[in-house]
Structure 1
Amino acid sequence: MNTDFAVTDASARLERDRLELAARIERRAGSDGLHTTPLPALSFFRAAIPGTQVCAIYETGLVLVAQGAKELQLGGETYRYDAANYLIASVDLPVSSEVVVASAEQPYLCAMLRLDTRRLGELLAEASPQFPAGVSGRGISVSPVDGAILDAMLRLVRLLDAPADLPVLAPLIERELMYRLLVGEQGPRLRHVATAGSRGQCVSHAIGWLRRHYHEPLRIDALAETVNMSASSLHHHFRAITAMSPLQYQKQLRLQEARRLLLARQCDVASAAHRVGYESPSQFSREYSRLFGAPPLRDVEQLLQHGSTADAVSLAG
C-alpha cells in the first residue's frame, strides 16, 4: 500500500513540475520559434501549428518537452518525444523533425540544454570508478522522463528569474543534470562519446571538424588521420552513430547552410552553392531538391510564405 502511495505521489509531482515548466516556457516564449535565454546553453522552442517538417542540426544536448509532441527522423528511423519522454543527442546531427501534437490553446513547448562533451568527460574522469564503459549506438535516442531530471531542469529555468544567482548556481545545476543523464538510461550513449580516446569521441571530433570545414573538399584518409582512426574504422563508427557516411554528413551541412543563406537573402542560388563548396550549381540544385523536396527558389518562397524562416534555420527542439 505504501508503494502505491509513493508511486501516486511521484506521478503527481511529475505532473506539477511539468505544468510549471510549461508555464515558465510559455511566459518567455510568447511566439513560435526558437528563444534564447540569459543562460547560453539553455533555450526554449514553441510551435502552435503541427505538421511542418523542418531540417535542422540537433546539437549535442537534452530536449525536455513540457507540452505537445514531436517526431524526428534519422536514417529511416523515427523517434517520438513528448512530456513523458526526453530526447538526447550525443553528437551534432542533421535531422528532419515535425511537431505532431500542438494547438493554439496548447502549443508545443520544450526546453533544450546544450551539453558540453568536454565537461561530461571531466565529470566521468572524476567519478570513473562508478561508470562502466560506454556503448556504441545511434547518436540520438529517447527515454522516459524521471523526476530527478525534470526537477533539475525546472530549477535551472527558475533561475532565469534570479539573474544575480545565475553565474554561481546555474553551473551547479547543469553539472547535476549531466550527472543525472550519465547515470540514467542514456548514460552509456553519452559515455561513448565523452570518454577520452574512445571511438565515439573520435567520431565526435570528426563531426566537429566537418562542421568547421564543411565547405572544403573532403578527403576521408586525411580526416581519419586527424582523429587518429583508420579510414575503414572511421567510416564504420561514423555510420553507426550518425546513420550516414562522413560525405553524406558534409552534404547535409552544406545544403542546410545554403538554405540559411537563401532564407536570409544574403546571396543568389549560384553564389550560395559556391559558398558552401559546390563547383556545379546544377548539382547543387539537384541535391537541394532531393533533401528539401523542391528546387532552392521554390523551397525558399514556400518557407517565407508560411512564415517558417525561423524554424528552418534554427536548432529546433
Structure 2
Amino acid sequence: MTEHLQPHIDIALRHARFGVTITPIPRLEIGVGQTTSGTSPCLYRSMICFILQGSKDVAIRDNLLRYDSAQYLISALDLPLSGQIHNADDGRPYVAVSLVLDPALLAEVASTMSPVRDVDAPGFGIAFNPMTPPLRDTLLRLLALLDAPDDIPVLAPMAERELLYRLLQGPQGRLLRHIAQPEGALGRIRRAVEWIRDHQHKRLRIDALCEASGMSRASLHRHFVALTGLSPIQYQKQLRLQEARQLLLTGDRTASDVAFAVGYESASQFSREYLRQFGASPVRDMRQLRQAISRPAMA
C-alpha cells in the first residue's frame, strides 16, 4: 500500500511542516509527526482521516485500535479521545491528511445519488474502512492541487465532491448520510455536542441541552452515549481536562488558576479528575511532558 501512496506523501511533505499544516484547500489539513510516548488526548472533529505513512492508535471505549495507510477513518462528530502516532517501520515520520466534513455538501452530493432509506440510527461515531484504489486516486488529485494553487478555487470543490461520492458509495455511506441529515439522531447529537462546546466552562444544564438538540432526556442520553461513548457530563469533563492540559503546557498559570478558567468550582476536584484522566497530577504531568518535548531538541 505504501508504494501506491508515495506520490501523496511527496506532495504532503512539500507543503507541510512538522505538526499540523492548514492548507490552501478549504478544510484540508496535513499532519506530520514522530512517534509519541504513550497516548495523548486529542479532539477528533467531524472529518475523514487518511494516513499516508506510519500508523496511529486510538483509544475507543477502553479498546486501543490501530489503523494505518490500509484504512481510512471517518469521525461523525467532535469526539474527545486519546491517541498515539507511530513512525513507519523504516523510521520515516507519520504523515496524515484530514478533511473536515461539510454536512451541507454531503447532503448535496447524496441528493444526486440513488435514494437509500436508512431507518436505523448509526452506531458509534467513529468507523474504520479499507482504503480503495478509487479513493486513493481521487485523494491524489485533490492533493496535487497544492502544486497548482491557482487551480484550487475551481478544481478543489470538484475533487472534494468526487471524494465524498466515493465515500458515500463505501461501507460507511449510511454514517455519512446521517451526518447530512440535521433532523436525524446523529444531527441532533451533533447540535448537543456543539452546545456543550459553546458552554463548556459553565455548569451543564440538561434541560437546555435537550432544548438545543430537540430531544427528550431519555432519547438524548441514549443516543449521546451510543455515538460518543460518554454521557453529556463526561463529555464536558473531557473537553475541560483537555483544555486545561493545553493551558498548563503553553502558559505559566497554576493548576488552581487553570481549574477555575476551564469551569471547575473546586481546585481539589480538578486535581483528582486530572490525575484519574492523565495518570499524574497536573504538576507532575507537566514536568513529564516538557521533558518528553525537550528530548528531540537535545538529541
Compute the TM-score of the two structures, normalised by the length of structure 1.
Answer: 0.86
Q: Which residue of the partner structure matches residue 236 of structure 1?
A: 222
Structure 1 unpaired stretches of 5+: 1-13, 309-317
Q: Which residue of the partner structure matches residue 12 of structure 2?
A: 25
CA contact (8 A) 2:35 2:84 kept: no
Equivalent residues in 2 for 1:19-168, closer than 5 Å: 19-31=6-18, 33-102=19-88, 105-124=91-110, 126-127=111-112, 129-133=114-118, 135-168=121-154
**What per-residue deviation string (whole Å, max 9, x for no partner) do you get for residues 168-189 of structure 1?**
1112211221221122111111
How far does residue 266 in structure 1 lie from its aligned partner after superposition? Answer: 5.7
How far does residue 94 in structure 1 lie from its aligned partner after superposition? Answer: 0.6
Structure 1 residues 128 and 173: CA distance shift in structure 2, 3 A: closer
**What per-residue deviation string (whole Å, max 9, x for no partner) do you get for residues 81-125 of structure 1?**
11111111011101111124536742221111111223223333x
How far does residue 30 in structure 1 lie from its aligned partner after superposition? Answer: 4.6
Q: Which residue of the partner structure matches residue 246 of structure 2?
A: 260
CA contact (8 A) 1:235 1:245 kept: yes
How far does residue 47 in structure 1 lie from its aligned partner after superposition? Answer: 2.2
User: Take 1:123 and 1:267, find their aligned partners in 2: how far apart are those partners?
Assistant: 47
Structure 2 unpaired stretches of 5+: 295-299
Deviates more, 1:71-80 or 1:165-174: 71-80
Q: Which residue of the partner structure matches residue 286 of structure 1?
A: 272
User: Take 1:105 and 1:49, find their aligned partners in 2: how far apart are those partners?
Assistant: 9
User: Take 2:252 and 2:117, find their aligned partners in 1: how far apart are those partners?
Assistant: 48
Q: What RMSD in Å do the two structures reach over aligned CA positions?
A: 1.9
How far does residue 235 in structure 1 lie from its aligned partner after superposition? Answer: 0.3
Residue 303 (str. 1) matches residue 286 (str. 2): no
User: Take 1:239 and 1:96, find their aligned partners in 2: how far apart are those partners?
Assistant: 17
Structure 1 residues 171 and 267: CA distance shift in structure 2, 3 A: farther
The code of the aligned residue for 1:42 comes to: L
The code of the aligned residue for 2:167 comes to: L
Residue 182 (str. 1) matches residue 156 (str. 2): no
Number of residue-to-residue matches in the alignment: 293
SS in 1 for 2:149: coil
User: Take 1:255 and 1:195, find their aligned partners in 2: how far apart are those partners?
Assistant: 31
Indicate the structure whose relative CO is greater, using CA pairs within 8 Å and at least 6 residues apart: 1
The code of the aligned residue for 1:49 comes to: T
Compute the TM-score of the two structures, normalised by the length of structure 2.
Answer: 0.91
CA contact (8 A) 2:2 2:52 kept: no
User: Take 1:51 and 1:299, find their aligned partners in 2: how far apart are those partners?
Assistant: 13
Q: Which residue of the partner structure matches residue 203 of structure 1?
A: 189
Q: Which residue of the partner structure matches residue 260 of structure 2?
A: 274
How far does residue 213 in structure 1 lie from its aligned partner after superposition? Answer: 1.1
How far does residue 219 in structure 1 lie from its aligned partner after superposition? Answer: 1.5
Q: Which residue of the partner structure matches residue 250 of structure 1?
A: 236
**What per-residue deviation string (whole Å, max 9, x for no partner) do you get for residues 257-287 of structure 1?**
1111111106321121111110101101111
User: Take 2:26 and 2:133, find their aligned partners in 1: how far apart are those partners?
Assistant: 24
CA contact (8 A) 2:15 2:146 kept: no
User: Take 1:306 and 1:198, find their aligned partners in 2: how far apart are those partners?
Assistant: 44
User: Take 2:71 and 2:37, find their aligned partners in 1: how far apart are those partners?
Assistant: 20
